[in-house]
Every structure is written in C-alpha cells, then in structure tokens.
A and B are shown apart, each in its own frame.
Chain A
Amino acid sequence: MPRKRGGDELMKKVWRLLDTGKQSAAYNMALERVILTARSRGMVPDTIHFLEFSPHCALIGYHQAVNLEVEEEYCKEHGIDINRRISGGGNLYMDEGQLGWEIFALKDTPGIPRRLEDMYSLLCEAAIAGLSRLGVQARFRPHNDIEVGGRKISGTGGTEMGNSILYHGTILTDFDVDTMIACLKLPLKKLENKQVQSFKERVTCLREVLGYVPPMKDIKKAMAEGFAEVLGVELKPSGLSDFEQSLLDQELPLFQSDEWIRGSRPSQGSQLQVVDYKSPGGLIRVSLRLDPQRKRIKYVFITGDFFAYPERSILDLEAALKNSSSQPDDLLFNVRRFLGDHNVIIPGVTSEDIFQAVWTAIERVEG
C-alpha cells in the first residue's frame, strides 16, 4: 500500500503540474537544470513535470562516457539524438511514445525522507500508485527500479542543487526494444537471437502488461493522481515561469554542445564478456559489462537452462549485482547473501556455481 503523506486534506500544499510535451533531448536536459535552479532559488513551487522526447534519443548518466554507452554510428544513421542527463544512472533509450516524470522539491519537504534509500522508495511508490490506477501492479525494486513481475517498467535516478532535489523516471508505454538494443551498448551480443530474446524478457511496457496502450492523457492523469496521493499534495497545472523560460534560452546552447554531451569524464571502461559455465543443474550463461579500472560490474545478465524458484529471483539478483564490486570476495559475499536472504532454490546449482560463472566472465575481461 502506498504511504500517504501530507496529512489533513485541508492542509494540502499546492504543487505545480508542468507538462512541456514533446521536446528535443537537449531541451529536456537543459530544462531539468533550469527548473532545479529555479526551485533552489525559491522562484517556483515544488513541481511534478511530465516530459516526452522528439526525436527519439539515447541518454547517458552524468558521469558516463558516450563512446562507452551508445552506438554512435547507429544513432547518427537513424536520427537518434544523444545527450547527457544531470542525474546519475545508466544509458537509456527514449522513443517518442515514452513518458518521463520528474519531481522537483525542497530537500526538507515534510514527508520526503532524508536518507537517499528511503527517498527512492517513497518517490517510486508515488509512481507505482499512478501505475496502479492504470491497472498495473508494479513494485519497487532496490535500488531504483520499478518492475512488474520482475521485469523493469521504469528506471529512476536523481540529483540535487542547493536545497532542492530532482528525482525522475520513465514509464515504458509501447516500447521499441529492437531500437533500444541497437542504439545502446548493453551486456549482450546483438547478433545472437537467444541473447536478444533474453534481454527482451527483462523489460516490459504498458502495452505488454495491459494488452493496449492507454491514451497519453490518461497515463498522465493516472500518474499525476498517484503522485498527489502519495505525496499528499494538490497539483495545479501551470507553465514555465518567465525566469525559467529566460534561463532555458541561456542554458540550451550548452546542452546542445559537445562540451556537455562528450565532455571529459572520470576514467572508466565498459567491456563485454559472455561465458558459459556448466553446473550439475544445467548451463549458466553470464553476459556482463565490466569496468575493469574501477572494478565494477556495470550490468550482468544470467541465463541458462536451469530452473530458479522463485522464478523472478535471477532478475532480482542481476539488479542486486548491478554496479557492485567485481572483487572475488565481494562477489561471492553478494551472491551468497542474495540467494540466502531471498530463499532462492535452484536445483543442481549452488551459490558457488553462480559466483564461479560470473567470476569466470570477470577474469576473462581482466585477462
């Protein structure tokens, strides 16, 4: 059940509901910084913002490097914009049917937890409440995902400026997964149908869950109601302030520039490795992207012909290992802890087998 915030109906605070429609990636990325600046200076109220993208685009996280995350030639050939978010997290693809949602608020807003983990959980619950109004039974998956039956339907991330936060996410509506696979660097060999199929099974969208895509205005209405309910606020539709519009005009050239999109970032890597490991319970195939310099598993997919109970546990394990340490002791600890805490049963496959399969892939990258 979503937690209601904000108390008495009569005491509800009014937040702005802002919908800027379809815009370019540079416009939307610049606008995030503009609204956050305006909020931190007290020039606009707390805000829920809906955004859409046109043309379609590939976005990377603030600290990521374009060449490691995006298939640049493919994007160029297919008119896919590339840009960088001001928030953290990984690469993502936004086609013209996706909906982005954003929360801009003061850090000390009553009811918004101070600890990051608690804040992620609450703000994702607000999005989940919106999805439930559409008939989608979603749930929060630590650290920052929203999933349906183990399959991701929304990724989230955030940042801060002064006394204010931005927390945002996406809702996959009717998703062009083939283009996503083609334009992003993912932990899979794109020419292998089984790998591509297995990746597709890790994400879902409204069309798949509901059997149809609700009109965008209905999706926005449901999401807005969910945010208002869980945050305990009243939403009042409004546009950009004069200050925001003026600042946007100033900021946009930077967000269109290579300086912003491809500027230097901390040294990092992203190498793909796929290994097959034979265990008594069956074949375990591990596909991973590793940052060997920083000793991090960026993403890992674990497939094979074994059976895991509960069925979704392997997808949850993948989420738990994302961005985790690739050091063998840490990896073994994380795998054992996850499988133990979640009472996972995989006949013929031990936690040591899972560890060994992932570790073999890591060792091959590290040479």
Chain B
Amino acid sequence: MQVDNWRIPEDLYYDWGDYWIKVTGNQAVIGMTEAGQSNIGDILYLDLVSEGTVVLRGEKVGSIESGKWVGSLKAPLSGVVVEVNRQLEEDPRQVNTDAYGQGWMFRMELTDVGEISKLMDPRAYKAWTEEQMCLAKEGEMSS
C-alpha cells in the first residue's frame, strides 16, 4: 500500500505523528513513516531519551532537527524505552533513506497493550495521509 511515492507497509500500525509501530507481544519498535520524514526533510540531528525512561502515550521521547526546525518526538504508546537506535545520533539520515529499516528509532516495552487499539491500521493511515495532502494543496491554492 502506498500514497504518492510513500510506502505504507501492511504489517505495521500508525499514529497521527507519522510514526510506524511494529508490535510483537508486549513490545513495540517505533520509527517515522516515509510520509513523515518527507515532510520534515533532511534530518540533521536526532536525540533520544536514555534506555529505561518511562513515558506515557504522547510524552516527549526526544528531539529531531531539520532545516533549522526542532521538533519533538512523542511516544505513540505508553511504556518503558528499552532500546534506542544510537546509530541515528551519528547518522540521522537513515530515517530519510531507510525509514522502515535502519531508520527505526526506539523499542518500548508496553505497559498497556490495549492502547494499540487507539492506533491506525494501514488503511486508516493511508486515508489520513491523503486527507493531509488535500489540506496542504487547498492551502497552496488559497495562497
């Protein structure tokens, strides 16, 4: 499945911050989608919290910088950050070049597996991404 040139793998969950979430048992690996990294642009810095940090869904787990813009990375689910992809701190462009592979950002142990029901499936994420593209185009046309 894809929107524009951005792939949306069917075995992942998604959230509104353009994160992909791969769930295995009570653990989840999290990264940024191709659509998300495309909007941000060439990533210059990526800084993530330490392993062992406990976060609630929506709380900050790091920061990301592109084109002089600093954005926050948010946890799409609640839990403990058990592993961080430290390679990204030296080479954050892997999020741009291999969003669903080498560009994974962190792994969490989930405190409430039930929260997964709050995420989007690939079909819902595709529809949401298309809606965002329409809104962006409407914005351009009104300018």
Cα(A324)–Cα(B143), bound, Å = 30
Stretch of B20-28, B38-46, B108-116, B118-126 lying at the A interface = B38-46
Per the CB 8 Å criterion, the residue count for chain B at the interface is 29
**B residues in contact with A159, CB < 8 Å:** 69-71
Task: A143 to B136: give the CA distance in the assembly, Å.
Answer: 19
A120's partner among B46, B67, B90, B93 (CB-CB below 8 A) is: B67
A-contact bits for B124-140, CB 8 A (1 contact / 0 none): 00000000100110011
Q: B interface, by DSSP: helix, strand, loop or mixed?
A: mixed
Q: Are A62's CB and B66's CB within 8 A?
A: no
8 Å CB contact of B45 from A87, A266, A324: A266
User: Once the chains bind, are A88 and B46 in contact (CB under 8 Å)?
Assistant: no
A113-B139, A116-B40, A117-B41 as given contacts; A63 in contact with B67, CB under 8 Å: no
Say yes or no: A118-B136 contact (C-beta < 8 A), given A266-B47, A266-B89, A267-B90. yes
Task: Tell me which residues across on chain B come within 8 A of A62, comparing CB atoms.
Answer: 63, 65, 70
CB–CB A115/B67 < 8 A: no
Secondary structure class of chain A's binding surface, majority of residues: loop
Interface residues of A in 133-147 (CB under 8 A from B): 143-144
Cα separation A144 to B72 with both chains bound (whole Å):
20
Verify A144–B67 contact, CB threshold 8 A: yes
Chain A residues lying within 8 Å of B65, measured Cβ to Cβ, are: 61-63, 88
| Chain B proximity mask over A1-26: 1 for CB below 8 Å, otherwise 0 | 00101000000000000000000000
Pair B47/A265 contact, Cβ less than 8 Å: yes
- The answer to the question of A89 belonging to the interface, with a C-beta cut-off of 8 Å to chain B, is yes
Within the assembled complex, what's the spacing in Å between the Cα atoms of A103 and B42? 23
Q: What separation, in Å, do the CA atoms of A120 and B63 have in the docked complex? A: 19
Given A113-B140, A115-B39, A266-B89; A157-B68 close (CB under 8 Å): yes
Tell me whether A114 and B136 are in contact in the complex, defined as CB-CB below 8 angstroms, given that A63-B63, A88-B67, A143-B67 are known contacts: yes
| A side interface size, CB within 8 A | 39
Q: Which of B69, B91, B135 contacts A294 (CB 8 A)?
A: B91
The reply to whether A114 and B132 form a contact with Cβ atoms under 8 Å apart is: yes
Question: Contact check: which of A87, A113, A143, A267 meets B70 at CB < 8 Å?
Answer: A87
In this complex, which of B67, B68, B136 has the most chain A Cβ atoms within 10 angstroms of its Cβ?
A: B68
Residues of B within 8 A of A266 (CB): 45-47, 89-90
Inter-chain contacts of A176 with B (CB < 8 A): none
Contact B68 A144 (CB under 8 A): yes
The 3 closest A-B pairs by CB, nearest first: A157-B68, A89-B68, A63-B45
Give the interface of B toward A (CB within 8 A). 39-42, 44-47, 63, 65-72, 89-93, 132, 135-136, 139-140, 142-143
Residues in A lying within 8 Å of B, measured CB to CB: 3, 5, 61-63, 86-90, 111, 113-118, 120, 122, 143-144, 155-161, 265-268, 293-296, 323-325
